[in-house]
Amino acid sequence: MPKIKVAIVGVGNCASAFLQGINYYGETAKIDEFVGLRNSTLAGYVPNDITVVAAFDIDERKVGLDLSEAIFAKPNNTPQVSQVLKTNVTVNKGPLLDGVGESTKHIIQVSDKADADIVKILKESGAEIIINLLPSGAIKATEYYAKQAIAAGCAFINATPNFIASDPSWEKQFKEANLPLVGDDLVDQIGSTALHKTLLKLLSGCGVKITETYQLDVGGGAESVDTLERTRDTKRTIKTEAVASALPYKTQIVAGSTDYVDFLQNKRDSYFYIDGVYFCNTPLKIDLKFQTVDAPNAGSALLDVVRAVKVALTKKQVGAIEAICAYGFKRPPKMAPIETAEEEFKCYTNA
């Protein structure tokens, strides 16, 4: 199979986990030993069929380095699980715009190098897909790279909660440019939102009436700092709407990020509370704590989404690809139940 050539915007923890994952599964000889993936093969592609051909960041500790070194540079703190060989891809300096918020100024060291010619680099590298892994609050920067994707003729994956794929005006621009677009806000492989939705659906299906529920997240990565300052309300809206879609009726729901704890590093603690009644109005309460490492949680979903976007490119399908959006993102243009989204994604990638 031909390589799937991608460019990464934002060489943070998620980029580190993504690149390590490609390398990790590339070293595994047998597909049946690909433990930890939802899809070992997808449309005939394995993870090692993906190659990163360009990368952009603003931190001086990453700009100018080979991508294999940059993914382990500070402030990245996701665990190293794989030795990544030299990629011969140099991290280029992107424009700052709103990529750094007030609360992350002490974490990010902005490079003083000149901004690279993004479109030129994308075209020369042969990139066909751009993965936007910028901080949640980088709205202007996300829109800037969406425009660069159109100018360079690349499909665009928006992993951030900023509205691109779910914004009709952006969807129209990508459709007119004959390019695929997917987003917004990448799901986790086994994230708190998916777990919350599954619990609520299970209880509701058993006849339990949920009266109130919350899901509160505490993290230690730079993204958690940025979320609290700039996108707390947006993330809360997206997560709350996603959780609410699991129930056939309205009830009191709150879901979102609540705090940053530096010593958690790249870990995320999620706390769940569910209150309801079952047979003869008997009360039921659930309190749970769930811990994951944040960046690897995005890896499996991102590997699936990239391979699926390659399918869209091959099929010459353009605009927001609903089957991929509903499967891989918390805020797709059109929300669908988990089972429906998975079935439509399977049909799309197998057709």
* Model pLDDT, residue 106: 86
Q: Has residue 3 got a pLDDT over 80?
A: yes
* Model pLDDT, residue 191: 83
Residue 182 to residue 164: CA distance in whole angstroms:
8
Domain ranges for the chain, please list them: 4-187+296-350, 192-293
Provide the pLDDT confidence category of residue 32 given band limits of 50, 70 and 90: confident
Higher pLDDT, 191 or 209: 209
Task: Pick left, alpha or beta for residue 153 (phi over 0 → left; psi -120 to 50 → alpha; otherwise beta).
Answer: left
Looking at domain 192-293, does it have CATH number 3.40.50.300?
no
* Model pLDDT, residue 29: 63
Long-range CB pairs of 308-311, under 8 A, 24+ apart, other chains included: 308/42, 308/43, 308/182, 308/345, 308/348, 308/349, 309/129, 309/155, 309/157, 309/180, 309/182, 310/4, 310/43, 310/45, 310/128, 310/129, 311/43, 311/348, 311/349
Which amino acid is residue 210, in one-letter code? I
- Its CATH class, for the domain covering 4-187+296-350, is alpha beta
Is the overall model pTM greater than 0.95, yes or no? no
